[in-house]
Homo-oligomer: A and B are copies of this chain.
Amino acid sequence: MSKDSPNAASPSPARQRRSSDQVTLSQVAQAAGVSPITASRALNSPDKVSDSARLSVLQAVEKLGYVPNLVAGSLASSRSRLIAVIVPSLINSVFVEVIKGLQETLGAEGYQILLGNTDYDLDREYQLVRTFLGWSCSALVTAGLRHNKACHTLLANWDHPIMEVMELGKGMDLNVGLDHVAAGRCMAGHLIDKGYRHIVYVGARLSQDYRASMRFDGHKAVLKEKGIDAPLLELDTLGSLQAGAEGLAQVLAQYPHTQAIHFANDDLAAGALLAAQRQGLNVPGDIAIAGFNGLPLGQHVTPQLTTILSPREEMGRLAAKELIRRLSGKNVYRRQHDVGFTLQTGGST
């Protein structure tokens, strides 16, 4: 009856307490016969307490099934070990691979990822940033250098590391990526070297996927230098195999003399290549096809897809390493890292 039930009616409590029945650090400390602060240290900076204290705390943790309340810890220390990661899409496997690289490296250091998806909407990005700052994230990773005004202001006044990945340029803080204009130039150069002159660039929603439009800029510049026209076909759906097939059909209808198509990414290119096969078109005899990213799929179709290999997981890992370096207070030698890219010529061009 008068057991230590949590709801034991106190004599005349002016106010009901709302404590959860969770085991707290104080209870652990009590069980271990030390003060709460020592228990805290035993768990968070083990080398600052004696072996005996550490041992008895760990035993008490085990015995009581204590799970640290990270929310309370973060509030008290204003450090959360959370890293906000904001990407424009989860469907596009490219970003997932970057996330994987980040997660491997950050996870090993005890950081947790708080994931946000903008669906290529900069206003949505701003909302996510606000939310994430509210979680006192230790750092923020975002795909791309473009933000809306409010977001820019918010980030500029934030005093934690910011890592912008994917592309290279003048960023807010740290930056790991590659030069998309150069990548576009590279592929266009390759197509011209191969002797193609009627080349169409096909992208999907370029106003959103502005990295693809930067590649088009590079592509266009090279063709212009050669005095060649650089038609652009923009699809209204997001990149996918299906969209690639449609892109092929539209190009053939709209620009019948086309010799080569430079697709904004491998999903589109592979979709076009597979569609061409279904229609009995010869690649590259009837039409040459090139992509971007170096997805595994491109290496397994016949002919192999000519593409530009972007080191995506590597980008994530490098970004994570640089963040960790910064977060542990070390000097950052370079704010900007170019991970480069590789032209991978297959049989499709």
Q: Which A residues contact B (CB, under 8 angstroms)?
A: 18, 20, 65, 67-72, 74-75, 78, 80, 90-91, 93, 96-97, 99-100, 103, 107, 112-117, 130-131, 133-136, 153-154, 157, 240-242, 245, 270-271, 274-275, 277-278, 296-297, 299-302
Contact = CB atoms under 8 A, between A and B. Distances in A.
A35 to B, nearest CB: 18
Nearest to A135: B70
Nearest to A78: B20
A284 B133 CA distance: 55
A301 B72 CA distance: 53
Contacts of A72: 75
B300 A271 contact: yes
Given A274-B300, A300-B271, A115 B113 contact: yes
B90 A96 contact: yes
Q: How many copies altogether?
A: 2
Contacts of A245: 300
A125 to B, nearest CB: 13
B131 A71 contact: no
11 contacts: A67-B134, A71-B74, A71-B75, A91-B96, A91-B100, A103-B115, A103-B117, A112-B116, A112-B135, A113-B114, A274-B301
A71 B240 contact: no
Q: Sorted from nearest, which 8 A-B pairs have the closest CB atoms?
A: A70-B134, A274-B300, A241-B300, A115-B115, A71-B74, A71-B75, A90-B100, A68-B134
Given A90-B99, A100-B117, A271-B300, 7 more contacts: A67-B130, A67-B154, A112-B135, A241-B297, A241-B299, A245-B300, A270-B300
A134 B241 contact: no
A121 B102 CA distance: 19
B114 A112 contact: yes
Contacts of A157: 65
B242 A296 contact: yes
A232 to B, nearest CB: 24
Contacts of A271: 300
Contact of A136 (B18, B71, B297): B71
A274 B96 CA distance: 24
A276 to B, nearest CB: 10
Contacts of A116: 112
Contacts of A103: 90, 115, 117
A299 B100 CA distance: 27
Contacts of A67: 130, 133-134, 154
Given A75-B75, A113-B115, A135-B70, A277 B302 contact: yes
Contacts of A115: 103, 113-115
A65 B134 CA distance: 12
Contacts of A69: 75, 134, 136
Nearest to A89: B100
A159 to B, nearest CB: 8
Contacts of A302: 274, 277-278
